[in-house]
Each structure stands twice: as structure tokens, then as C-alpha cells.
Structure 1
Amino acid sequence: MEGCFRIAVLGTKKVGKTCLIAQLLKKSFPDTYSPTIEALFQYNIQTSENKFAKLEILDTAGSFEFPDLLRKAVRSCHALVLMFDLSDSMRTFREVETLRQLILDERGGESVPLIVIGNKSDLIIKEDNVENKVLDAIVSIDWDCTYLTTSAKCDTNISDVYKAVCKGLGIDVRQTNVNDEDAVTRKPRKLSLSNLKRRVSSIAF
């Protein structure tokens, strides 16, 4: 094993974080919405004929209700994926801007790969509309980050997310996508929100 790399997927509620991960790992799309507190997904990727690297994808809560968990994710991950909803871009992109500022504050001058994803492209008329071009320019030019538009529901450009993450981490992969048999899901323990809050408050960072 060449190494282990952890990636956090961040964004506000209902932008499709869990759905994108499910489409990436299992080529499936959840039929119902279930709020996420935190879940970790792992899989191995082949980097050369006899070598592998482990990728861990951290699916996070879609709000700032658990700020300590959010800061821990920002500090500990090797790459960060920031997601917003193209069909509600004005509101959900503001959350991405807030998350980016948090990353800059927490990581200081440290260079960390950031991939910004506008999801739910199937719900907008044209991806080349003026609003999307402006967001693309902000991310690509002003922030110097990778910008992608996806549809987790239709499996549009999902493999590009995988490629962008690997490129940002400097991983030269032989695989161009993720195979089901490579994926392992670590299911989080079920905790009530009150118990989780008490547990988080006791964590020392």
C-alpha cells in the first residue's frame, strides 16, 4: 500500500453529497433523502502494476450544526470537495464561499487541493448560462481551483470528480474509475443528536 489519503465532501444540506459518493462508489442513486451526520467510505486504487493507495471519503453533515466535526475534517483531510446546488446556486454557493474561508483560516498558508462541484446539472436548462460562467470564473480564476458540474442522479461527470481528486493529490492511477469490489463502507454508529453533541463537546482538537 503506497499511502492513505482522506477526502472530505462538504456543502450545505441537500446538495447531493451522499448521492455523489453513492454514484461514484456503487453506481447507484438513493431514492430517499436521509440527513448525514458523518460517514466514512474507503476503497483501494491501483497506482501501478503491483501498488495500491487507499482513498477515504468523508461524507459530512450538511450544516454548521457540528462545527467541531467540521473543523476536524478540514484540518485532517488531504483534499476537500466543496459542493453546491446548481438549481439553487445563489444560496448554496454562499455556503461554499464560507467553507473556503474556513479552510483558509484553519489551514493557514498550507496548500490543500480544493475541488468545487456544482451538482444537479440535470435541473438547469443550460450549463453554459451566464450565472454558471461567473461561478466557473470565480473558482477557476480567482480561487485557482478545479471547477466541475455534475449530476449525481444521471451519473454525469462523476468519473471526472475521481480524476480531479487523484490529480490534486498527485496520484497517478491506472484505473479511470472506481470498481464496486474495491469499495468498502464503514458505517457510522447511530447516535442521537443530543448524545453526539455531548460527545463532540468533549473532543480535544
Structure 2
Amino acid sequence: MTHIHEERKAKECSTETMPGCGSRVRLPSLGYSHLDKENHRVVVMGAARVGKSSIISQFLYDKFLARYRETVEELHCGEYELQDGVALTLEILDTSGAYQFPAMRALSISTADAFILVFALDDAESWEEVRRLRDQIVQVRGGAVPVVVVGNKDDVDAASRAVPQEVAGSVATLDWECGYIECSAKHNVRIVDVFKELLVQAKVRYNLSPAVRRRRQSLPNDTRGTGGVPKSRVVKQNSCTVA
């Protein structure tokens, strides 16, 4: 498993109760635990303005990012207790949709355990970008790495849709042998299914619940040095217990 390269101070999540699930187990956020741990780095890639950051934000923080903000690179962390008592840490790397950082993209591909490739259902060119990204991943990593293709903006009307479901779905699942999910980050529809499908592709047993009450913490996000070059990744932490 891949380990986080940034130094972090361990923080504990307070004990809470989820509806119908009893008491929560105390899980340190990226600290030490008596539980066995699994660590998976998920890299989210796609063209600009397809909703990559909003999908992550809805999953971890139940929040839709209405205002567009260009992402350079942000690392989010979510911790979950699985049914077998294993503490699963998902490191979710939100990448830039621009082309200014080819070295960062190459590094992200080489260090990922799994990929989420996002396109917008009303943007045909963003689907072509997913094709290019998938080809690059296969070239670097081969065909064994888990990939889920995600068509975001399922809330658009039929007339605005530019990528037919039968086309994208069949290419992703049959030709590429990847997972495929259509979702709406705006309305928080099938967002959890994206990550469930990713764990299925990675053969990780799970029970992610959309009703999980999440607790989040953030480190300072002043990550840009001179000339806008990132001097370190933004690391946002989120810990919870999974029903």
C-alpha cells in the first residue's frame, strides 16, 4: 500500500452514535490504532470543470462546491472501520484538469492504487479526455489497476446530454473492463456508489453508508510558492466509522 508522504499530526475523532448502528469506535486520523489498517490511494482525474472536486466534497463533507475553483492538487483522507475490524484509509487525490503540470500527472499515475476518471455527460470532449487518460494509465500501469469511469452531471436534461449512456457504459465496462457510474454531484445522487464501485474493483470488502455522520478536519491550505507553483499538497482529513 502507498503511504502518505506529508507529515501530519495525528488527530482523534470523538465518539459519536450513528442512527441504528450503536456507538462509534474511536479511530485516530492517520495516527496509531489497535486495528489492522489498509491504505488505498485513489487518484481522481478528468478534464477541467467536470466536477471532480465536487464529487469528493459531497462524499467526504456532504457539500457541493457551487463556485468553480481551479485545482492544482489536493489530497483528502477518509478513514473507515470495515466489518472485519480493519481500518481502511482512503487517500483521495484531486488532480488538476489542466495540462500545465505533466510531471505531477505522471507521478499521480505511477503512485495510485486506483483511479476515478470523471467526465461531464454534457461535454463530449471531456469523454475523449477520459479515453486519453485511460490509455495513459494502461501504458504506465498495465490493465490490472482498478478504474471507475464516472459520468457526472446526470441532472442535465436529455437535450443537453452529449455522451449516450449506452456508449460510455459499454466502452467502460466491456472494452476497458472498468466500473461505470453516472452521478450528480450537484444533487448528491449516486456519489457513494462511485466509491462503492471502486472498492468492488479493488476487491475490498466494504459497507459504506450514505447516512454516515462525517467529521472533518483540515490542515492549512497555503500551498503555493513563488509563481503559483505548489510547494506541498493540500491535505484534508476526514474520519468516520462505516456502518
Could you state the TM-score of these two structures normalised by the residue count of structure 2?
0.73
Aligned partner letter, 2:199: C
Once the 2 structures are TM-superposed, how far is the Cα of residue 129 of structure 1 from its aligned partner?
9.2
**Which of the pair is proportionally richer in helix?**
1
Distance 2:77 2:163 in 1: 37
Structure 1 partner of 2:199: 166
Once the 2 structures are TM-superposed, how far is the Cα of residue 138 of structure 1 from its aligned partner?
1.0
Once the 2 structures are TM-superposed, how far is the Cα of residue 191 of structure 1 from its aligned partner?
1.1
Residue by residue over 1:3-57, the C-alpha shift from the partner in whole angstroms, topping out at 9 and shown as x without a partner, is: 2100000000000000000101111111211100000000111123532111110
- Large movers: runs of 4+ above 6 Å: 126-130
Aligned partner letter, 1:114: V
State yes or no: 1:5 paired with 2:40: yes
State yes or no: 1:121 paired with 2:154: yes
Structure 2 partner of 1:203: none
Structure 1 partner of 2:170: 137
Q: Which has the higher contact order (CA 8 A, sep 6+)?
A: 1
Counterparts of residues 1-205 of structure 1 (less than 5 Å): 1-48=36-83, 50-88=85-123, 90-107=124-141, 109=142, 111-125=144-158, 131-177=164-210, 179-181=213-215, 183-186=216-219, 188-191=221-224, 194-196=227-229
Once the 2 structures are TM-superposed, how far is the Cα of residue 140 of structure 1 from its aligned partner?
1.1
Residue by residue over 1:91-138, the C-alpha shift from the partner in whole angstroms, topping out at 9 and shown as x without a partner, is: 11110011011101111x351001000000101328999822111111
Structure 2 spans left out of the alignment, 5+ residues: 1-35, 233-243
Q: Secondary structure at the match of 1:116?
A: strand
Structure 1 spans left out of the alignment, 5+ residues: 201-205
Query: How many pairs are equivalent?
Result: 196
Distance 1:168 1:121, change over 3 A: same
